[in-house]
Structure 1
Amino acid sequence: MKYRSVFEIIGPVMIGPSSSHTAGAARIGRVARKLYGRQPKWAKIYLYGSFAETYKGHGTDVAIIGGLLDYDTFDERIKTAFEDAEKLGMTFEFIPEEEEMEHPNTARIVIGDEKDEMELVGISIGGGTMEVTELNGFPLRLSGHYPALLVVHEDRSGVIASVSNAIAAQQMNIAHMEVDRKAKGEMALMVIEVDQVIDDTLIQELEALPHVTQVSTLAD
């Protein structure tokens, strides 16, 4: 594992006792909240490995709920996240699992409301950093370090080129890009991390492209 800065080694400014179990967990929850695009009404959090073993003592549970409320790692409100969620009418459940995962600090978060739901798998990789490894069944690698576009589309010829051309026309540089699909000709997902801030103009242009069904963003 390579660290991007000394601050990832000594840990972030944060609430809680552990950068991996608290700060990283809060960031997993917050990324889930941002990708969902609104406050969920309910959440089911499945915990694996050391997360499952120590989530109460290390504050992993309250950190994830704080993240789902859009609290950053240093936000004092993380301490009262359970009470704040209750006031907002958000219900939640923690489910420790015995299944062994590839990474010991793994959380599967399923959130939703009366309209739809979203499922995300995140891992806390140390120093308060995290990665999203799965989104709605799509395997991926999303670090959260850069602004990102998540483009759901039909698996058709020319869609990737059209999206790339639209990004290039905005003078934006692609830092990382992944593409996956459910099956040939079916639903696909592009995950594109860029170096610049993503504005509404680009989002609207991408949404208007043929065969694109949904565009989500994740700010740095």
Structure 2
Amino acid sequence: MKYKSVFEIIGPVMIGPSSSHTAGAARIGKMARELFGREPKWANISFYGSFAKTYKGHGTDVALIGGLMDFETDDERIINAFEHAKKKKIKIRIREEEAVTDHPNTARILIGDDNGEMELVGISIGGGKIEIIELNGFELKLTGHHPAILVVHDDRFGAIAAVSNILASHKINIGHMDVSRKDIGQMALMTIEVDQNVEEVVLKELKQLPEVTQVTRIAN
């Protein structure tokens, strides 16, 4: 794993005893909220591996819930996240899972409200850094370190080129791209990390492509 500075090795400014189990969990929750696009009304959280064994002592549960409410890693409200969620009438369920996962610090989050739901899997990889590795059944790798767009589209010829051409026309450079599909010819997901935040006019053009069904922006 590469770090850009000594401050990333030391870890982030945070509430809690562990950058992996606390700050990382808060960032997974915050990323889930950002991908969902709004504050959820309920959340079912499953912890695996080390998360499942130590989440109470390390504050993993309150950190993740705080992230769902858009709290930063150093926000003191994280300590009382359950109470804040109760005041907002957000229903929380937490499960300790015994299944073995590829990474010890793994959380599966299912969130929703009256207008829909979303499921993702996030891992905390150390120093407060995270990766989202699954979203609604699609495999992906989303770190949150860079601006990104997620494009749900029909798996057909020319879809990737059409999206790339629009980004190129606006002089947006692609730093990293992953494409995941559930099966040949069905729905697919592009995860595109870029060098600058994507403006609304670009999102509008992408949404107008006939093969595109959804576009989500992750700002930085």
Rounded Cα–Cα distance in structure 2 between residues aligned with 1:88 and 1:205: 36
In the alignment, residue 72 of structure 2 is paired with which amino acid? Answer: D
1:37-58 CA distance string (max 9 Å, x none): 0111100000000100010110
Structure 2 counterpart of 1:144 = 144
Contact 2:148–2:197 (Cα < 8 Å) also in 1:
no
> Alignment partner of 2:139: what SS?
strand
Structure 1 counterpart of 2:98 = 98
Query: What is the CA-CA distance between 1:4 and the residue it aligns to?
Result: 3.0
> Alignment partner of 1:57: what SS?
helix
Query: What is the CA-CA distance between 1:180 and the residue it aligns to?
Result: 1.1
Rounded Cα–Cα distance in structure 2 between residues aligned with 1:134 and 1:81: 25
TM-score by length of 1: 0.98
Structure 1 counterpart of 2:72 = 72
Alignment of 1:49 onto 2:41: no
Contact 1:33–1:40 (Cα < 8 Å) also in 2:
yes
Rounded Cα–Cα distance in structure 1 between residues aligned with 2:103 and 2:8: 18
Contact 2:63–2:78 (Cα < 8 Å) also in 1:
yes
Rounded Cα–Cα distance in structure 1 between residues aligned with 2:111 and 2:6: 33
Map 1:119-198 onto structure 2 (within 5 A): 119-198=119-198
Rounded Cα–Cα distance in structure 1 between residues aligned with 2:124 and 2:152: 25
In the alignment, residue 58 of structure 1 is paired with which amino acid? Answer: H
Query: What is the CA-CA distance between 1:160 and the residue it aligns to?
Result: 0.6
Structure 1 gap segments, 5+ residues each: none
In the alignment, residue 10 of structure 1 is paired with which amino acid? Answer: I
Contact 1:159–1:210 (Cα < 8 Å) also in 2:
no
RMSD of the alignment, in Å?
A: 0.8
Query: What is the CA-CA distance between 1:84 and the residue it aligns to?
Result: 1.1
> Alignment partner of 1:99: what SS?
coil
Query: What is the CA-CA distance between 1:22 and the residue it aligns to?
Result: 0.2
Rounded Cα–Cα distance in structure 2 between residues aligned with 1:19 and 1:40: 25
Q: Runs (4+) of structure 1 moved beyond 3 Å?
A: none
Contact 1:20–1:124 (Cα < 8 Å) also in 2:
yes
> Alignment partner of 1:185: what SS?
coil
Alignment of 1:32 onto 2:18: no
Query: What is the CA-CA distance between 1:198 and the residue it aligns to?
Result: 1.3
> Alignment partner of 2:202: what SS?
helix
> Alignment partner of 2:56: what SS?
coil
> Alignment partner of 1:100: what SS?
coil
Structure 2 counterpart of 1:117 = 117
Query: What is the CA-CA distance between 1:8 and the residue it aligns to?
Result: 1.9
Rounded Cα–Cα distance in structure 2 between residues aligned with 1:158 and 1:77: 47
Query: What is the CA-CA distance between 1:199 and the residue it aligns to?
Result: 1.1
